Amino acid sequence: MLCVSITVHEQLEVIENQLRNVRRYLPASHIILHLSFEAHALRTRLLGIADRYENVFLNPIMYPTEWGWMYHAHLFNFEYAQKLGLDFDYFVTEASNTMYFRLGGEEYLKHYDFLSCSMPLDFDNTDWANVWNWKSQIDKDSAFWRMVESEKITKFYRDWHEGTAWKRELFEEMLAIISRYYQFDLKESRYPREEIYPSTLARHLSQNFSHPLVGVTWGEQTELVNRNLAMVSDAAGADPGYFGVKPVPRNMADPLRQFINGL
């Protein structure tokens, strides 16, 4: 059983479309929604939508669901799932602009301790800006460096949080370690901790991993749509490696969203 954590803030019809998508392709899952506090006006209506689906829950805590604070929201969703007493083996994190396009993710996941693209970071790389854009912020992140020193971490990794997943016991261990050093305070300097904290710590604790459930692409919008359409189209005849894709524009009329909905 999975627990899928999704951060949301957009049109209700898009949120419900994603719920149907996850329910179709990851049927053995609980879903925890985290509504951004900036979208608090949607809360009552979103509760009504969640109530129409089995095993879908809306976290009463509302944190920002923007880059730099994504990990905070997912951690609070994990804690809420524990509070609800949900039975699950893996914790999966998702954004609101991802969609799945084929079955098999649950079977694939159970062979690993975690899923991550786990891209190495070389702190001695003089061309750092082309590797990761947040060197100045992480240099000042005293909590991260206290964790590195105390836990004797020697290698560093980054990833995207969409479609990443961890065994429940591993995530509990990671959360306990991170909480010793970082207090999830919005007053802290903002940079995408969700890209480095979990991937670095997971690789420190286990080497049994594979790529995420979701493939993420970057570039101009037209290029992205064409590339992602090709990825999804190939799923019928060849193994594309992934089970979902990001970004899918948050628009019900978007051709990629319509294509996936029509599969």
Query: Which residue has tokens 């009329």?
Result: 253
What's the rounded mean pLDDT across residues 243-250?
88
- Identify which of 1-15, 20-34, 224-238, 242-256 has the greatest average pLDDT: 20-34
Is residue 238 very low, low, confident or very high in pLDDT (cuts 50, 70, 90)? very low
Which residue matches tokens 């649950």?
106
* 211-226 confidence digits (pLDDT tens): 999 988 765 555 555 5
pLDDT at position 189 is 74
* Predicted pLDDT at 59: 96
Q: What percentage of residues in the chain have a pLDDT greater than 70?
A: 85
The whole-number average pLDDT for the span 117-138 is 70
The pLDDT, as a whole number, for residue 233 is 58
Q: How far apart are the first and last CA of the chain?
A: 24
Is the pLDDT at 236 greater than 50? The verdict is no
pLDDT over 50 (residue 237): no
- Hey, what domains does the chain have and what are their CATH numbers? 2-261 (3.90.550)
- pLDDT tens digits, residue range 35-86? 988 888 889 999 999 999 999 999 999 887 777 678 888 999 999 999 999 9
Non-local (6+) Cβ contacts of 39 within 8 A are: 8, 9, 10
The counts of H helices and E strands in the chain are 10, 12
Arithmetic mean of pLDDT, 89-104: 93
CA distance 127 to 261: 42
261 pLDDT band, cuts 50/70/90, is: very high
Burial 88-124 (b: 16+ CB within 10 A, else e): bebbbbbbbbbbbbbeebbebbeebbbbbbbeebeee
> Does the pLDDT of residue 122 top 90, yes or no?
no
pLDDT for position 253 = 93
Planar angle of CA 105, 245, 186, nearest 5 degrees: 100
Beta bridge partners of 245: 99, 215
Beta bridge partners of 156: 121
How much is the pLDDT for 263?
86
By C-alpha distance, which of 144, 149, 146, 155 is closest to 203? Answer: 155
The predicted model gives 193-219 an average pLDDT of: 89
Mean pLDDT of the chain: 86
Q: Could you identify the residue written with the tokens 């750092």?
A: 128
How are beta strands 99-100 and 244-246 bridged, if at all?
A: antiparallel
Do residues 214 and 94 lie in contact, with contact meaning Cβ atoms separated by under 8 Å? yes
Q: Residue 164 pairs with which residues in a beta bridge?
A: 93
Q: For the chain, what percent of residues have pLDDT higher than 90?
A: 52
Residue 131 is predicted with a pLDDT of 54
Cβ neighbors of 80 (< 8 A, separation 6 or more) are 32, 57, 59, 60, 61
Q: Specify the pTM.
A: 0.90
Specify the pLDDT at position 36.
87
d(CA 257, CA 252): 7
Tokens representing residue 235 in the block: 């799923």
